[in-house]
Structure 1
């Protein structure tokens, strides 16, 4: 039998009790119970009652009453604990619970004896005061003693707890909120009813706390859905790293591969423009021997739709894995064809899905028809787009606004205004409500057909009245709201009328719209059309003043204006400014600069042009090198005076050799026109045809001639490497050698000697961290022999056939060319 001693205190102190175990039932001795530390989540400091661990610092008892634990006395102590809780004395409440439970009474039995309405009232009082931490500490203590915390709450207390959680959410105290939720979840509270999980996740994302978001998601049984929410919310904010952190955490916390999570992270890679990462995730799935479902495949193809080859590679992989394509899959393939401009592939896919529909496997939807219409519209194949519309109607599929817009656009792109307006009227008759894009396409049709006056008349009628007054009273209720695109389209119709375009820009602002970069670029182009270069440059400054950073289109437009007005230096200055602001030129930018000159007058101009060409190649752009090669050839041939017949012979032959991909000719000319070449005078013609070799040699001679006029004399012989000798000269080497010898001797009067074959050792020698390569045999023979392990030979020695133009001959030629004519 166990006994209790009721310890009394003075009126100013709290009432408390302590358990006195008496295993023998006779002798009674007092032995204080050592309080254990609470295991609770770490919450931020707040106004709360002192922790329960201070219970043993109470004042000494004034009296003690022995008690025999019978049912009557259990009710007494349950009543006492309930009243203590009601009065907010939860330290004493916890002591009573602890004493009773440790004396042998089960926690559930004592809980049943409590007056829960009183306990809940006390908890509500603490929650009203915002003392959430104190409540959680008490709940943690009684939970350890076997008293279910949830039993101590009534509906009102639960409502107050929800308010406190909402307060933490509103105050954006994300760490305190998540820790509270973790604690309540451990006590079996219905935390989903306290706060909407998506709101907590949004707060974690806004605060960029992926770890807290992950901890919160792990509380719920449906964690995979919350992980998807976390990943997607970070993706919408273009924050890929925390999204990937949530993805990795999902793999650790979820059992098996969850396709919802994989699909979401792939979609987020697309939102963040990291297409390669989406591919790595897909490959990781395959390495795990996991077959993605159709939704994962569709997301992967949609994210990579800009890469037609990869999209079809994924499609074929999907077929090989036995995953059946759905209608969305074919829509994405059509989208990829549309982006790549592959009308032929789009037609093949369209025919395939039509066949599948005829066999009952698939049912074409409005998205399929709309996509294929857009493919034909972009390719200006308006007849084929209209045929698709007939297929739609035959299949019982009603065109939507997107379909009608694409159909109207097909005619607009072809400049067929009447047909575009006819389709617009058909759209209205079919009951499909047009949007601003449809009206803009009609204006675009007028502009494309150069019917500028009609565009302005249509705009004024739509802007000032209702649609029914333009197309008939039966279209009552439809109105037109101009957009920035509307004004941009009309600005294109202004031709060279700068003031009219500027008025439209001002009107755009007056109706609450903001000019975009396209608006400013169009205005700059109009300035250029009227010869106002300064105005075009001022527009760039106005853009920055308006808080808008000029993009590549704006700069390219300004460069085009400068080029058209023969101010190339200013155009090159703008090109340099682009690089300064890290705005990457596009193909139009490069081509505008490379075609700026119809001829070259100096070495510096050629060097400048070739520098732009090389920059373009490094940026990954391919160009038609033929035009530039012609100008370079013309400039090089200028070194020969009064030899048009000779020049014509070489200019007209073997043109197929010029313009090869990644022109070797232009690279060689660029290489040999560097400033150091004037001192070394070494020309490498290896790999060039005789026409290309001629141009390179003439380019070097012209540079030597210009340097001579500037006071730089020739200090060495000119050496020309024709090519490798392998058991005798090749046919190509002989042709190059004969052509260059003929050029130098017969046309220019220079003295050419055979310099003999020079043997070059094409061997790489590694000595520690240093490397020597391409050493001559005679240089190697004078060295001490290296250990075998330090010598690594990659290629065999080669013999190079060379020609030499003597220094004296060059000086005589330069004096003769520089002498004034009589």
Structure 2
């Protein structure tokens, strides 16, 4: 049999048949020019086995390295496999391979973008027993890092993570190849929690990376992905990691899912694991909106022997502040003071600021100032938040002078106020109607702010600013005042106005819409964009000057500026229209709101319902009742008495000219009791009826006064819809309610008597009473058919039969009454 010859590049591998030995290798040397020096391989003994011939082994190692350098990696693996199968030790062959040449070949392939092929070669080398980490140098690592970075930039994080998993299997340090934080951010942006989890598992700091992934998803508001990562992290941990538990609880707070944080906490308790202080603090902080639960967690923390720190008490104070429990906040504060006196705790600025805010929100400014003194006595320096809370406390109480004194004290203490603090001072001046003072402070603060850019001309700019301010106030007929109340502010306030600042000042313009427009233009010059509140304030100012046209133009300007008017802006324009007796346009704006799917608020509804002092037509009544019903469906409750009065006056108008109307009108206003909702709903339901059923009136559940109003409303609707020469074809059916045969109901009888008296005596209509069935509107007969309310067959009635009580007003008398009313109105 013939030998098998395998040719690879410039060498041939000869495999004898049925040879008990490993395959031997012979070289087919390339032809070279004659040289005086003796060839290196001339002394190689090719008849010896390869593992015993070091020169031959070195030759093939050099040859294999050269093939790798030329990126012939398949040939590289084939020769390596053959050499190692011949009995050569892996370490002997690996030590002879030129790592520099192999690295060059790998880099060439990586630069061509063929990462997958590189991975296949490295996998093949590992199968042969070669150490992958020893096959390349740092240049290959750098090339891998760059290639992974490019793949990540293209958004293909799955490919990067696949490569990381393979490289980790080669026992390589992947932290030098990939920045895990960058990959995690891409995974979070693409909402791929599973890929992020796989990425984290390739690093020794996986537990820290899990926290980072959970937190990043929390910042995006994606609680479900965060929970997926949390569950995966638990599978990789031998015992619960408190750092991860704390992070997922914090994320529950970021996503507003505080109930889920409680479930996680209960899960720890079920496993009989005691959370550490940081988990307890995070749980209390997330649930600070629920004081009862926060206190429950605090007491449990004490019961299991976990000592509270300053952060714990700060959270408790914050929870008390949110629940407006100043008394409990005071108790906690005293407890903390006691702990501080014994050296257990050291109160920080956040503790004092929180308790001050609790008093400030409750308008207990004296107590807030006392806490400030405690704070200074303890050597704790107030920060901007502390001073802002103190100023806000005095501002809310209307103490303008005290607010400004605190502001000056803040500046003298070297604390830099923020814009919100300055806005609070301006707001205090506006609420106290000290408009001039607010503008003086504002103008001088602006001068102070520009001084940091133009320090050399400081005094000149102050003088010029004051001159311009005096000039502007003189032109508006206002007194500029002295400089004594703002000298300190001018020198020390690094003020940068915001949109809220200009909104506050616009409120001080009163009806001077030109000045308000100038402020809005200045706002735009400063690079600020007016918001919906700005436009609404401007609309109110135009309305105060009775400039309806200007207010409507502001609404159009708002749309052109790219800001969709909100409910506040629409309501402001409605108020302007109603104040200037333009109800029609106000109601058209309401319809426009509905078309744009802008939900009206309670102020909107009340503005429209109180738009009229009286009703003159059926259309106006129907319009307001439709708005009333829409308000009720939206879930708003309001005082219906005003609307009821207007409806009552409109209904009683049908009796004008009758001598009997005055007593009934006065009594109806005094006898009406309880909620008006049912009455108005009944009136609305009857006035919205059209067609042949419009003459059926349901009075069930109403008192006699309410029933009177409903009947009068229907009669007025009939009167206003009446066309001369047209006769009614239907009788008017009035449903009184269900009553047992032979029984007596005082309220039912009162309603019946009141309605009969109204129809017969006051209006002269013909009324037929009795227990009736359905009245045939096309019949002229006055026959009354009784309807018995029955019970299921086979069951004995628990009481006497009941009948539906009705009144019927004949169409003949209705037509006569309408013609008479028409004749009277013409006279």
Aligned length: 745
> Once the 2 structures are TM-superposed, how far is the Cα of residue 421 of structure 1 from its aligned partner?
0.6
Shift of the 809–526 alpha-carbon distance from structure 1 to 2, 3 Å rule, reads same
Where structure 1 has 5 or more consecutive residues not aligned to the other structure, the ranges are: 31-63, 760-775
Residues 304-315 of structure 1 mapped to structure 2, 5 A cutoff? 312=292
Tell me the SS of whatever aligns to 1:540.
helix
The corresponding residue for 1:497 is 512
Q: Please, which of 404, 419, 426 is the counterpart of residue 409 of structure 2?
A: 426
Q: Residue 291 of structure 2 contacts residue 319 of structure 2 at CA under 8 Å; is this kept in 1?
A: yes
Q: Please, which of 661, 678, 692 is the counterpart of residue 664 of structure 1?
A: 678
> Once the 2 structures are TM-superposed, how far is the Cα of residue 557 of structure 1 from its aligned partner?
1.9
The corresponding residue for 1:174 is 157
**1:270, 1:711 → 2: CA distance?**
73
Q: Which has the larger radius of gyration?
A: 2
Q: Please, which of 558, 570, 578 is the counterpart of residue 593 of structure 2?
A: 578
2:649 matched to 1:645?
A: no
The corresponding residue for 2:395 is 412
Residues 92-131 of structure 1 mapped to structure 2, 5 A cutoff? 92-103=75-86, 107=90, 110-131=93-114
2:436 matched to 1:453?
A: yes
Q: Residue 509 of structure 2 contacts residue 516 of structure 2 at CA under 8 Å; is this kept in 1?
A: yes
**2:710, 2:326 → 1: CA distance?**
46
The corresponding residue for 1:439 is 422
Q: Residue 71 of structure 2 contacts residue 105 of structure 2 at CA under 8 Å; is this kept in 1?
A: yes
Q: Residue 19 of structure 1 contacts residue 99 of structure 1 at CA under 8 Å; is this kept in 2?
A: no
**2:14, 2:803 → 1: CA distance?**
105
The corresponding residue for 1:385 is 368
2:39 matched to 1:24?
A: no
**1:546, 1:713 → 2: CA distance?**
57
> Once the 2 structures are TM-superposed, how far is the Cα of residue 206 of structure 1 from its aligned partner?
3.3
**1:299, 1:27 → 2: CA distance?**
69
**1:208, 1:303 → 2: CA distance?**
24
Shift of the 649–407 alpha-carbon distance from structure 1 to 2, 3 Å rule, reads same
> Once the 2 structures are TM-superposed, how far is the Cα of residue 665 of structure 1 from its aligned partner?
2.6
RMSD over aligned CA atoms reads: 4.2
The corresponding residue for 1:630 is 645
2:400 matched to 1:400?
A: no
Q: TM-score, normalised by structure 2?
A: 0.78
> Once the 2 structures are TM-superposed, how far is the Cα of residue 477 of structure 1 from its aligned partner?
5.8
> Once the 2 structures are TM-superposed, how far is the Cα of residue 401 of structure 1 from its aligned partner?
0.7
Q: Please, which of 612, 619, 632 is the counterpart of residue 604 of structure 1?
A: 619
Tell me the SS of whatever aligns to 2:202.
coil
Q: Residue 100 of structure 2 contacts residue 137 of structure 2 at CA under 8 Å; is this kept in 1?
A: yes
Q: Please, which of 130, 136, 139 is the counterpart of residue 119 of structure 2?
A: 136
The corresponding residue for 2:550 is 535
> Once the 2 structures are TM-superposed, how far is the Cα of residue 667 of structure 1 from its aligned partner?
2.5
Tell me the SS of whatever aligns to 1:803.
strand
Shift of the 25–304 alpha-carbon distance from structure 1 to 2, 3 Å rule, reads closer
The corresponding residue for 2:67 is 84
Deviations 1:674-712 (A, max 9, x none): 223773433333333333333333322322222225887
Deviates more, 1:640-649 or 1:455-464: 640-649
Q: TM-score, normalised by structure 1?
A: 0.79
Deviates more, 1:750-759 or 1:445-454: 750-759
Shift of the 184–745 alpha-carbon distance from structure 1 to 2, 3 Å rule, reads farther
Shift of the 737–231 alpha-carbon distance from structure 1 to 2, 3 Å rule, reads farther
**2:155, 2:407 → 1: CA distance?**
51
The corresponding residue for 1:185 is 168
**1:680, 1:119 → 2: CA distance?**
97
Q: Please, which of 508, 512, 516 is the counterpart of residue 523 of structure 2?
A: 508
> Once the 2 structures are TM-superposed, how far is the Cα of residue 605 of structure 1 from its aligned partner?
1.9
> Once the 2 structures are TM-superposed, how far is the Cα of residue 185 of structure 1 from its aligned partner?
2.6
> Once the 2 structures are TM-superposed, how far is the Cα of residue 546 of structure 1 from its aligned partner?
2.2
**2:379, 2:740 → 1: CA distance?**
74
Q: Please, which of 142, 161, 171 is the counterpart of residue 159 of structure 1?
A: 142
Where structure 2 has 5 or more consecutive residues not aligned to the other structure, the ranges are: 27-44, 452-457, 463-484, 775-786
> Once the 2 structures are TM-superposed, how far is the Cα of residue 423 of structure 1 from its aligned partner?
0.6
> Once the 2 structures are TM-superposed, how far is the Cα of residue 419 of structure 1 from its aligned partner?
1.0
> Once the 2 structures are TM-superposed, how far is the Cα of residue 434 of structure 1 from its aligned partner?
0.9
2:726 matched to 1:687?
A: no
Q: Residue 338 of structure 1 contacts residue 374 of structure 1 at CA under 8 Å; is this kept in 2?
A: yes
Q: Residue 494 of structure 1 contacts residue 501 of structure 1 at CA under 8 Å; is this kept in 2?
A: yes
Shift of the 24–797 alpha-carbon distance from structure 1 to 2, 3 Å rule, reads farther
> Once the 2 structures are TM-superposed, how far is the Cα of residue 235 of structure 1 from its aligned partner?
4.4
The corresponding residue for 2:49 is 68
Tell me the SS of whatever aligns to 2:722.
helix
